[in-house]
Amino acid sequence: MSPARRLPDGRRTASGSVGTVPPDASPAPASRPSAPPSPTDGAPPPHRRLGRSGLALPTVSLGLWQNFGDADPRATQREIVLHAVDRGVTHLDLANNYGPPGGAAEESLGHLLARELRPVRDELVVTTKAGYRMGPGPYGEGGSRKYLLSSLDASLRRLGLDHVDIFYSHRFDPTTPLEETVGALATAVRSGRARYAGISSYSARRTREALRVAERLGVDLVVTQVSYSMLNRWVEEPDPHDPAGASVLDVAGAEGLGVVAFSPLAQGMLTDRYLRGVPDDSRAARGGPLRPAFLSDANLDHVRRLDGLARAHGRSLATTAILWAMRDERVTTVLLGASSTRQLDENLAALDAPALTAEELAAVDALPADTGINIWASRSSDL
């Protein structure tokens, strides 16, 4: 039997490994260990308030977009999640279509919640989203009330929960009135199936419009989740369709909307993974969201320049990328994926690194703000 899992304040989750505890077994009560956490574990992430809401999130969160499908070892998934919680990464982000297949990531976390994390459920922030294709026919994607609420119910069944902490509209749906989409989010909150509501990958104009609709409906939208990295700075760019020509970050800051930044490592491009080409076992070689076309000579030249700058300051490229995404106080947290506990620890080392220098920030600003890797722009907004 594996040792009990420990939260940063010393309390522990239930002991036992997935697959050895009967599904109907009562969870072990949380207990306090006799010794404090090892200093080699590193300090837990600090927290930032999610916009004007009362919810605080760790500055680094765990995203389950990649590495939590049926083809990925369940034991490795377990190790990653439990190690993240041990390190104080208590925000676990999902969507109904994460896997593959869709729903697999929620099912995986559901097993852990039922068997090992139940005693500390109230100290976790579990979030999910709906909007992308999950099934055939007209009710298998989008922003309709029917799709969003039925998807949320299915997510709760997979997770084994009666509520999630944040439920997002995963993408703007131009075929559905915003009143209906935001109204579905309001229903999710009022019915107790979600504690908070948010949006993801909405342009500045659509973000502002969604906020006005939410005001009329008497519900708070507290967060927007957006792709953001040194190679993908679309949220800083003025939106020509917005009445004030504002950016997503401008609107979020003015409206008190929290910002969750996903893909701060540009799906691995901002690591040492692709500095010398495309490895055969890499995500780009296997196919998927990181397309080989993104690894153009121009983009890889940018990455190598950033790597050289990072090394000159005694950092890894990944640490530099994480610190860069966290530099703006409007960003509440950055979502990081992990394929192993070692990779998670390497990324969490950014929390102990000094802030970026003016030279580093200027060097990043000298690069193109758009390197053509934002696959979410055309699929989920009117950018």
Q: Residue 221: in which H helix or E strand, if any?
A: strand 221-227
Output the pLDDT for position 289: 65
Output the pLDDT for position 302: 87
Q: Are 367 and 58 in contact (CB under 8 A)?
A: no
> How far, in Å, CA of 329 to CA of 48, rounded?
8
Cis omega before residue 39 (within 30°)? no
- The strand pair at 194-200 and 125-130 is best described as unpaired
Counting beta carbons within 10 angstroms of the beta carbon of residue 15, is it exposed (0 to 12), middle (13 to 18) or buried (19 or more)?
middle
The DSSP line for 63-103 is E-SSS-STTS-HHHHHHHHHHHHHTT--EEE--TT-TTTTT
Counting beta carbons within 10 angstroms of the beta carbon of residue 45, is it exposed (0 to 12), middle (13 to 18) or buried (19 or more)?
buried
pLDDT band of 9, cuts 50, 70, 90: low
Asked whether the predicted pLDDT for residue 65 surpasses 60, the reply is: yes
Cα–Cα nearest to 78, from 18, 24, 11: 18
Counting beta carbons within 10 angstroms of the beta carbon of residue 378, is it exposed (0 to 12), middle (13 to 18) or buried (19 or more)?
exposed
| CA dihedral of residues 347, 53, 148, 187 (deg, nearest 10) | 160
What are the tens digits of pLDDT across the range 325-374? Answer: 999 999 999 999 999 999 999 999 999 999 999 989 998 898 876 777 77
> How far, in Å, CA of 328 to CA of 377, rounded?
22
| CA dihedral of residues 339, 381, 285, 350 (deg, nearest 10) | -40
Place of tokens 């996903």: 262
Share of the chain above pLDDT 70, in %: 82
Asked whether the predicted pLDDT for residue 11 surpasses 70, the reply is: no
Q: Are 203 and 172 in contact (CB under 8 A)?
A: yes
**218: phi > 0 → left, psi -120 to 50 → alpha, else beta; which?**
left
Asked whether the predicted pLDDT for residue 295 surpasses 90, the reply is: no
Mean pLDDT of all residues in the chain? Answer: 87
Structure tokens at 32: 């306090």
Per-residue pLDDT, averaged over 149-168, amounts to 99
Sketch out the chain's domains with CATH numbers: 46-380 (3.20.20.100)
Of the candidate ranges 13-17, 71-75, 181-185, the one whose mean pLDDT is the lowest: 13-17
pTM for this predicted structure = 0.87
pLDDT band of 288, cuts 50, 70, 90: low
Cα–Cα nearest to 167, from 95, 253, 252, 65: 95
Of the candidate ranges 24-28, 90-94, 235-239, 374-378, the one whose mean pLDDT is the lowest: 24-28
What are the tens digits of pLDDT across the range 33-58? Answer: 333 333 335 788 999 999 999 999 99
Tally Cβ neighbours within 10 Å of residue 158: 19
